[in-house]
Structure 1
């Protein structure tokens, strides 16, 4: 299949962001247009290993900004329409391996990403169910516990899961504000993108008000 002139089936797309306090280690988009919005919303936060000041966030649409040769509006429109032409859209996943706790310690171990990727592969194969949240589908604790035990021989606790996959409403709303500021400088951004941001913002505000807290446990979304 690698040499098939017609190409190979594509079942999943990964977009990797980098932030210390906002997004969970892995999530799956709610649908194709949400996946495009996820890719368009990637941020990269500088770390001690990068040049310049630490903790500075820059927008990196599709982690590909330096190589985009058309306007961002056209780029997003092309992505959106490409998916709409497909009979079977690939699932879209967003990862963040740089989440830290309040003491500045990384919540992801170096090898933990193996379990995030295996979970995503399992989602493509319909092996795992998922929890629907306003920001995307996240893993069930029971599935991750099994994966960590099987592949890393590690006891993955419920406390770790809650800390990693809680919805940080305040931080995500701040991120949406940064995304809006960035894209308002661009021309012809597709309407679906603004609609997606507005819808997510409204849902997060409602969620924040309902629970009267900024950080919401993933267990509250289980049905």
Structure 2
């Protein structure tokens, strides 16, 4: 793939699991290893050669806007209503432009190969979604089991020992099929899985969920390891 795909970073969540830290700081601006989670996600995208970048905001969104001032990142403001991942992506489409979009959740830490670069390298025209998956044994801070498994051709199957790592490429074409304003991208994945057009690849490194305060030292040990 030679086109520079746009990147959307989902930064609009309330961060309730990260309280009390998120009482005064939006979760994407919490620092892990001396760098904000949002900047870590931006660095991965930029080093992979993404095109335009959009970040959505809601909880304490003004802090994120100030943090990104002068960076060239576009803001999709969800201050009036939190739209979840699916609704948030649909609202941001005028800023992102047509075609496939890379999306990232910033509240994770990766080690090893750049997951965004790997997704771009593996993307094909017959895909409607390509998710970066992590085997449970390579996850840290994860509560619960896996999300998916893969068939021999790499197509997604619901349930299994693979965790969605929070990075993907997805075609937004089917967003107009969903009537609700606020909804999860799981709704799109289910449509794509049913059509055999949702795929996954495996991250070879380690991964940490940074959704709770106790996950911060886990992530920092991983980064320092």
For normalisation by structure 1, the TM-score amounts to 0.30
Greater helix share, 1 or 2?
1
- Which one has the largest radius of gyration? 1
For normalisation by structure 2, the TM-score amounts to 0.30
